[in-house]
Structure 1
Amino acid sequence: MFTGLCAFPLTPVIRNGVDEAGFRKILTRLIAARVDSLGILGSTGSYAYLTREQRKRVALLARELAGNIPVMICVGAVSTDDILRLTEDAQEAGADALLLPAVSYQPLSNDEVFSLFETVSRHTSLPICVYDNPGTTHFTFSDELHGRLSSLDGIGSVKIPGVPHTAEAAAERVRALRSQLHPGVTIGISGDAFAGLGLNAGCETWYSVCGGLFPEIAKQITQAAAMKDHERVTALVDRMEPLWALYRKHGGSIRVMAAAAGVLGLTDTDCLPRPLKPLSASDIAEVARVITLLDLK
């Protein structure tokens, strides 16, 4: 479950709710490409903007379409009670794993976060991936806390938000975290631009936004990593720099992925939940140029 390419697709949203037809088209690409697993309702999947019923419906659709591909469902919310209800929904939908962030409005202490994960792990038999994403949740995990969490039954992976910018420093970062984790808990890299550094440093999984729309190139990268072909991993990731540059330009990946899904004819170009707004016509044209330049399929 927690190795290889975990593809994180967009959840397209239109005026009257989730664009189920668009979501099906996006998932069909990922399933045809045989990604290793699906990460549903992550940050690019707009979990924070959707109602419980919408999230339940998306989870059911994903499980229906995925066949034998494992499905991980994000159950993030501010309230523990809401998280437990979302956990029940994910289980009923047939999820294979849960993705759990520590979403904070009031600042959270390490003990409060540990208590959250302890509560959820008691409440479910599904394995849990710890979602470490301080840019959106406003909570920063320490390696020590990751170690404490990895002692809980059911913790299967840690999704980290990036690594330092040199190979040596990235390897040291992964070694330091792994030294705190219990055996069997994998480390997954996120932040697409860091994929090469993280995979070459020993991360077992790429939790990939890019892979949620362009699975073929993402699979090439993770397959090269599995073969320990560090040079090919680096070359493939570096080649994608025009896409990473668009992420930086537009404050992250979600607006770029929404525009790209529209360019590919999978969704409307305006498929983001408000208050998020689509890119301008000129920016969408730039996204289209990058798709053509990189021959993304």
Structure 2
Amino acid sequence: MYIGRTGIWSPELRTAQDPVETHEAAAELDRAGWGALWIPGLGGGDVLGDAERLLRATGNAAVATGVFSIWRYPAEEMAAGHARLQQSYGRRLLLGLGVGDAATARGAGGVYRPLAAMNDYLDRFDRAPVPVPAGERVIAAMGPKLTELAARRGAGTHPFMVTPDFTATARSLLGTGPLLAPYQAVVVDRDADRARATARSFLAPFIGMAHYAGSLLRQGFTESDLAGGGSDRLIDAVVARGDVEAIGKRVRAHHDAGADHVALHVIGGRPGLPRAQWRELAPLARAE
């Protein structure tokens, strides 16, 4: 499945209060040329229903889950829903799935053994009455073992909160074929201090989670970088900020490091759909 070189990652496409505005915004993003619209799992809810609303609003962009937790959604139900939506909307749904954290696994009555749990879930995808093709599923992988699994059993990987250096390492593990589609947080703001504060307000809870903290430490950050919601060094490394030219430079750095696609998440500090910022970033929609 080809998803273009850039996409939009947006919780607001799931949470906006006005369904008409969400439909119109998705259609506008599609017309702008973004290759994929990514929606997060958000801890549960009707993620396939939300994906279908975006598929209905668009005609070209793929819709991707980025990502749903394997502990919250039975594989058989997700496979059946995926098959229905692919038949109805021209095979534009990409399922991104992740192992989450130990607390979520325990809450679902499972044992947190990420590699074994993901392999089992993919086995259940393969045994479904209509299996989910490997080319229509990606894995949220930040460690080498899951990255290698993503290359063997999926289209590739969608890593969260990573640097272009991480992208280069992931590409070396994946090889030349599989999809590498990193998440990239962006703040469209030329004021450095204000942009960092905006980024920190969103990322601080994730930095405090053990599995994300472990990923950041493997990327070369220190415990002091993780304190207080993230040091300036960490925030500047994982968040692109400034004008469209500065953000485009970060997108190109990921592409140069081996990314096939970069999913841009606008962090704005205001509630609602960040349509003004999406319009400002529109020149990056058809990035080469």
Relative to structure 1, the CA distance from residue 180 to residue 38 in structure 2 (aligned partners, 3 Å threshold; closer, same or farther) is same
Name the SS for the 2:61 alignment partner: coil
Give the letter aligned to residue 26 of structure 2: L
Q: Secondary structure at the match of 1:180?
A: helix
Q: 1:61 aligns with which of 21, 28, 53?
A: 53
| Cα separation, 1, equivalents of 2:162 and 2:53 | 33
Q: Which runs of at least 4 in structure 1 moved beyond 6 Å after TM superposition?
A: none
Instruction: Give, in angstroms, the shift of residue 187 of structure 1.
Output: 1.4
Residue 204 of structure 1, aligned match among 250, 260, 276: 260
Equivalent of residue 125 in structure 2, options 116, 120, 134 = 120
Aligned length: 199
Identify the residue that residue 111 of structure 1 maps to in structure 2: 116
Q: Structure 1 residues 200, 2: CA separation in 2 closer, same or farther (over 3 Å shift)? A: same
Alignment of 1:175-186 (within 5 A): 175-186=168-179
Identity over aligned pairs, percent? 11
- Residues 144 and 180 in structure 1, CA contact (< 8 A), matched pair in contact too: no
1:78 and 1:184, CA in 2 relative to 1: closer, same or farther beyond 3 A? closer
- Are residues 29 and 190 of structure 1, via their aligned partners in 2, closer, same or farther at CA, if it must alter by over 3 Å? same
Instruction: State the alpha-carbon separation in 1 of the partners of residues 55 and 120 from structure 2.
Output: 29
Letter of the structure 2 residue corresponding to residue 114 of structure 1: N
Q: Distance in 1 between matches of 2:94 and 2:124?
A: 16
CA RMSD of aligned residues (A): 3.0
Offset of residue 4 of structure 1? 0.8
Cross-structure match for 2:13: 11
Deviation track 1:208-241 (CA, whole Å, cap 9, x = no partner) reads 22398444444434645x2xxxxxxxxxxxxxxx
Partners of 1:69 and 1:99 lie apart in 2 by 16
Query: TM-score of the superposition, structure 1-length normalised?
Result: 0.56
Question: Is the alpha carbon distance of 1:120 and 1:80 closer, same or farther for their aligned partners in structure 2, counting shifts above 3 Å?
Answer: farther
Corresponding residue for residue 235 of structure 1: none
Asked whether the equivalents of residues 59 and 90 of structure 1 are also in contact (C-alpha less than 8 Å), the reply is no
Displacement after TM superposition at 1:156 (Å): 1.5
- Give ranges in structure 2 of 5+ residues lacking alignment: 87-91, 107-111, 186-238, 241-249, 268-273
Q: 1:71 to 1:218 in 2, by over 3 A?
A: same
Counterpart CA distance in 1 for 2:34 and 2:256 is 20
CA-CA distance at 1:33 after TM superposition: 1.0
Alignment of 1:66-81 (within 5 A): 66-73=58-65, 76-79=68-71
Which deviations, in whole Å up to 9, do the C-alpha atoms of 1:81-117 show, x marking residues without a partner?
6243133223312343211122331333322223323
Local SS of the residue matching 2:162: coil
Cα displacement (A) at 1:206:
0.9
1:42 partner letter? P
TM-score normalised by L of structure 2: 0.58
- The superposition leaves residues 239-296 of structure 1 with CA deviations (integer Å, 9 ceiling, x where unpaired) of xxxxxxxxxxxxxxxxxxxxxxxxxxxxxxxxxxxxxxxxxxxxxxxxxxxxxxxxxx
Distance 1:90 1:42 in 2: 16
In 1, the alpha carbon distance for the partners of 2:40 and 2:159 equals 14
